């Protein structure tokens, strides 16, 4: 590995909710640098959640993130001419990154509604331990469990 490791950047809290996780969601949702569009989608999504549940949307979002966050993942490793899927625990920031990615991917694959509604439905489903993002987490956990025999290859 050449050069220096890139420094970790702190994400500033978003303007409306003063929450760094919401700012990360906006940044992940953003396409082609259109941050104001992504902010509008997220804030409209949170307004929909508040309207449907009559609860604080931040609490629901945090609960959804907690439910989607993975504990272990598999990583491919080549040993002696064979590829093994080695289960490794997920550390630090990567947990949040994976959770946000899975929620956004699941909401993007939903059809026939505006993004704010698709995102709101996916967050609500994740809060209730349902939906595609939860299924993705379960698949990753199952894969890690199935390959537990190769855990001794991890360094």
Identify the pLDDT of residue 154: 79
Q: How far is CA 140 from the centre of its chain?
A: 13
| Backbone dihedral angles phi then psi of residue 154, each to the nearest 5 degrees | -70, 145
Identify the pLDDT of residue 21: 95
- Other beta carbons less than 10 A from residue 9's beta carbon: 6
Percent of the chain at pLDDT exceeding 70: 100
Q: What is the CATH number of domain 20-153?
A: 1.10.455.10
Structure tokens at 35: 């941050």
54-97 per-position pLDDT tens digit: 999 999 999 999 999 999 999 999 989 999 899 999 998 999 99
Identify the pLDDT of residue 28: 96
Closest CA to 61 of 94, 92, 107: 107
25-36 per-position pLDDT tens digit: 999 999 999 999
* Domain boundaries, given as residue ranges, for the chain: 20-153
């Amino acid at each position: 590995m050449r050069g220096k490791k890139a420094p970790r950047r702190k994400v500033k809290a978003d303007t409306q909710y003063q929450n760094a996780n919401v700012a990360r969601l906006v940044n992940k949702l953003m396409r082609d640098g259109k941050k104001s569009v992504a902010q509008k989608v997220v804030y409209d999504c949170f307004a929909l959640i508040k309207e449907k549940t009559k609860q604080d949307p931040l609490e629901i979002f945090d609960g959804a993130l907690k439910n989607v966050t993975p504990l272990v993942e598999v990583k491919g490793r080549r040993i002696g001419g064979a590829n093994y899927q080695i289960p490794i625990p997920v550390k630090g920031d990567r947990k949040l990154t994976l959770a946000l990615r899975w929620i956004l991917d699941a909401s993007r694959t939903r059809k026939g509604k505006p993004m704010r509604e698709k995102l709101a439905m996916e967050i609500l489903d994740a809060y209730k331990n349902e939906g595609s993002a939860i299924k993705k987490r379960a698949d990753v956990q199952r894969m890690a469990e199935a390959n537990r025999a190769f855990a001794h290859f991890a360094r």
